[in-house]
Amino acid sequence: MISEVIKELASYVNSEIERLLSYGEPEGLYRAARHYLMAGGKRLRPVIALLSAKALGHDYRRAIYAGIAIETIHNFTLIHDDIMDEDEMRRGVKTVHTLYGIPTAILAGDTLYAEAFGILAKSEAEPVNVVRAIGKLARVCVEICEGQYMDMSFEERNDVSEEDYIEMVRKKTGVLIGISASIPAILFGEDEKIERALWNYGIYSGIGFQIHDDLLDIAGKDKIGKDWGSDIVEGKKTLIVIKAFEQGIELETFGKGRASREELEGDIKKLFDCGAVDYARKKAREYVELAKSQLDVLPESPARTHLRELADYLIKREY
């Protein structure tokens, strides 16, 4: 089962995270920077990188520095996102800024960002390919910032379309999964066609992943380890909300900042009843199918099968 594969590879990733990302001085800064990393998680992005390396016929351990660099970038974005969204919970624990304050949280995120490139630079690959990988990850970070800005700007707009949402999600979420899947091809000097296919696999998987994540925000209740319904009260223009608004549905708690559980449940029922939830589920499935089709450029192998199964897993997980 893919869950067992993820668990096995994640265990290896965790051991390497402990080795590469130790605590330093000043202690408070590093406790904040390591807070989410040590809270656990499935390590999906580094697992994708390791599986991609295996699918290309390489020793997956040679991709570990790249995988951990990407996970470190991911955790940097989480810290800053939580500050901007004013969320109080993440992965079942208090958010970094809630525990350590906003200034320290910003510095913790910046520390992780810088550490990521130092880790990637240690990759066992031809120097020219390492430089390419560093350049690509840097560009991905720029696109993540663009996507986050788009997401925030949507809160002030009443004309956000499905196409706008997909482009925002491609940048905010898709590109980091895209680099996870394709960075082994960059490091190992694979053909551009293969690199592009793995990039697209990650992009499409990431879009499906984010749509599903939006669904969990309203359907996951206490399972998701963060503030349930936060997207609604924060006024996030998710695909679900966009489709509901197209039908003239009004949400009483949308963008209000705070809402009771009863009020949230009333609005969420509207999203189910109008078909917006089912529509989002259908679109998530379509993007995952697109992702899996990109893997046809790779030779058949257990690792390729696991990448296909992992794409399915991204839209089936409960938290």
Q: What is the model's pLDDT at position 85?
A: 85
DSSP character for 317? -
CB 228 within 8 A of CB 214: no
Q: Checking DSSP bridges between strand 89-90 and strand 93-94, what pairing results, if any? A: antiparallel
User: Cα-flanking dihedrals φ and ψ of residue 158, to 5°?
Assistant: -110, 5
CA distances to 115, 169, 171, 289, 296 from 293, rounded to whole Å, are 34, 20, 21, 6, 6
183-235 residue pLDDT tens: 999 999 999 999 999 999 999 999 999 999 999 998 865 554 456 788 899 89
Specify the DSSP element, H or E, that contains 110. helix 102-120
- pLDDT means over runs of 10, the chain (319 residues): 96 97 96 95 96 98 98 98 90 94 98 98 98 98 98 94 98 98 98 98 98 90 61 94 97 92 94 97 98 98 98 87
Domain 2-314 architecture: Orthogonal Bundle (1.10)
Two tokens at 275? 């078909």
HSE at residue 285, side-chain half, CA atoms within 13 A, is 6
Q: What is the model's pLDDT at position 225?
A: 45
Can you tell me the distance from the alpha carbon of 171 to that of 144, in angstroms, rounded to the nearest whole number? 5
Two tokens at 117? 């490139």
Could you count the other beta carbons within 10 Å of the beta carbon of residue 20?
A: 16
Can you tell me the distance from the alpha carbon of 215 to that of 229, in angstroms, rounded to the nearest whole number? 10
pTM (two decimals): 0.94
Can you tell me the distance from the alpha carbon of 211 to that of 236, in angstroms, rounded to the nearest whole number? 12
Can you tell me the distance from the alpha carbon of 285 to that of 312, in angstroms, rounded to the nearest whole number? 8
Could you count the other beta carbons within 10 Å of the beta carbon of residue 319?
A: 12
User: Cα-flanking dihedrals φ and ψ of residue 19, to 5°?
Assistant: -75, -40
Can you tell me the distance from the alpha carbon of 191 to that of 182, in angstroms, rounded to the nearest whole number? 11
233-248 residue pLDDT tens: 989 999 999 999 999 9
Can you tell me the distance from the alpha carbon of 319 to that of 312, in angstroms, rounded to the nearest whole number? 14
User: Cα-flanking dihedrals φ and ψ of residue 91, to 5°?
Assistant: 55, 35
